[in-house]
Amino acid sequence: MGKFEDRLWRDLVRKHGADLAQREGPAARTSRHPRARPRLLAGTSIGLAVAGTVAVLVLSAASSPPAFAVSQNSDGTVTVSLQKLAAVHQVNATLAAMGVRARLVVVSTGCTVKALPPGAVRAMQLARTMAGRAAPQAAITRFDPSKIPPGKTQVIPAYGVADTVHVATAQLIQGKAPVCISTIVAPACQPGKILPNARLTPANPADFHEKAAQQALKQFLARHPATAHDTGNSGNSGNSGNSGNSGTSTSTAKPTQVPAPGSVVDCYIRVPAGHPPLTGNSGNSGNSGTSGNS
């Protein structure tokens, strides 16, 4: 090789060498896992090959349970079945090959691209509380590609809970699907601060019962009657429950009357023992997990 080619190789090693050295090469991988032939789904354990299914694509290895299935039904709808979150990319490749503008997008807490609306987050929390129960064999969703408007993409959030895969309600978004979706992380409630346009969630996210949450709020208000007045708020407070609006500043809000329980809060009520009198709000709170729907 010439000098240019040697120098380019050194640059490549400097930039990608560490990453490549840790991975298995394509040839070695292929020799260990020969490519599986696509097979039809009829008669497999997922049982999607019901009457009316006109075409089925399964790209999982034949020797293991299918990680996913994508099928087009006779009425034009498409059914996606997902057993392993890792198969999301294969599902999306299949949908792209079929010309369907729908994509599965993995929900991850570190993602800042797009936030799920609070309703979907609550569904996830509920799924977590139910994770110990009988888990479904696969997360299945069905949609009609003809109802996806031009220029839009149907995004189907997919997430894992205790080794099971779930899909949330699909959303139509403008343009291409994001690479990931984040949950909206509910902030801690600030003493003396009422968040507008929000809903109550319990102190313990795992305890997803409205009554318990109402009770928690009542106890909080009974212990801290000054909550009725929003005085001396020196920090920014985020609105975590307003359909993706994040970080809405309410620091200039007028003193707020205590609203009826249930109209307040999509945040966790955490009041440490021996909390000082509620004369002001000096901390920052807000949506720390996402930047909201975009």
Between strands 102-106 and 152-161, the pairing is parallel
Q: Residue 68 — φ and ψ, nearest 5°?
A: -160, 165
C-alpha–C-alpha distance, residues 160 and 140, integer Å: 13
Q: How far apart are CA 96 and CA 93, in angstroms?
A: 5
Work out how close the CB of 28 gets to other proteins at its nearest, in angstroms, rounded to a whole number.
4
Check if the beta carbon of residue 130 is closer than 8 Å to that of residue 164.
no
Buried b (16+ CB within 10 A) or exposed e, 129-142: eeeeeeeeebbbbe
Task: Identify which of residues 30 and 257 has a Cβ nearer to other proteins in the complex.
Answer: 30
| Nearer Cβ to other proteins (4/132) | 4
| Smallest distance, other proteins to C-beta of residue 176, A | 18
Site for other proteins in 193-252 (CB under 8 A): none
Q: CB-wise, 12 or 50, nearer to other proteins? A: 12
CA dihedral 220→225→226→229, nearest 10 degrees, is 90
Residue 139 CB, nearest approach to other proteins (Å)? 25
Nearer to other proteins, 99 or 272 (CB): 99
| Min dist. Cβ of residue 4 to other proteins (A) | 4
> Rounded to 10 degrees, what is the CA torsion of 109, 112, 113, 114?
60
- Please state the closest distance from residue 129 (CB atom) to other proteins, in A: 37
Which CB, 16 or 147, lies closer to other proteins?
Answer: 16
CB of 89 to other proteins, least distance (A): 10
Q: Which of residues 1-30 bind other proteins (CB under 8 A)?
A: 1-5, 7-9, 11-13, 15-17, 20-28, 30
Number of residues that bind other proteins (CB under 8 A): 26
Q: How far is the CB of 59 from other proteins (least distance, A)?
A: 13
- Amino acid identity for residue 264 in this structure: V
Q: What is the DSSP letter of 86?
A: G
Distances (CA, A) of 205 to 47, 120, 145, 187: 35, 14, 35, 12
Name the residue nearer to other proteins (CB basis): 11 or 75. Answer: 11
Q: Which of 124, 235, 120 is nearest to 187 (CA)?
A: 235
CB of 24 to other proteins, least distance (A): 6
Range 35-74, binding other proteins (CB under 8 A): 35
> What is d(CA 193, CA 278) in angstroms, rounded to the nearest whole number?
10
Cβ nearer to other proteins, comparing 13 with 179: 13
Q: Which amino acid is at 177?
A: A
Between 10 and 142, CB nearer to other proteins: 10
Tokens 């380019």 belong to 8
What does residue 129 show for φ and ψ, rounded to 5 degrees? -70, -25
Chain residues that interact with other proteins, rule: CB under 8 A: 1-5, 7-9, 11-13, 15-17, 20-28, 30-31, 35
